[in-house]
Amino acid sequence: MRGKGSQKKARLERLKNEIVDYVATAPGASAADIVAFLSNERKMRNHGLTTRKVGLFIPLHLSDLINFRLDSSTGKRIYHLAA
């Protein structure tokens, strides 16, 4: 393989931007809400994220922009923008 993977980097950046934009407009979103937004609203059907992978993706790539808290009743992560 030759090249620097510019298309892969561009897809990653678009995915990160879409997640940050969604959490900014809908604070209190769960991982399932984020995946549904990407699949249904933005038509990014091949983004590769599941609800379980969002829990790993956000701390790995977006930890400086997005934080989470645990919902006391369900135990799910609720995402919001970092202050």
Residue type, 37: F
Domain ranges of the chain: 29-83
Q: Is 71 helix (H, G, I), strand (E, B) or coil?
A: coil
Question: The tokens of 69 are what?
Answer: 């808290």
User: Which residues, 6+ apart, have CB-to-CB distance to 26 below 8 Å?
Assistant: 33, 37
Q: What is the pLDDT of residue 2?
A: 54
Question: Could you give the CA distance from residue 47 to residue 31 in angstroms, rounded to a whole number?
Answer: 14
Nearest Cα neighbor of 78 from 41, 32, 18, 20 is 32
Q: What is the pLDDT of residue 1?
A: 43
Q: Is the overall model pTM greater than 0.95, yes or no?
A: no
Q: What is the pLDDT of residue 70?
A: 94
Q: What is the pLDDT of residue 61?
A: 95
Low-confidence residues of the chain: pLDDT under 50? 1
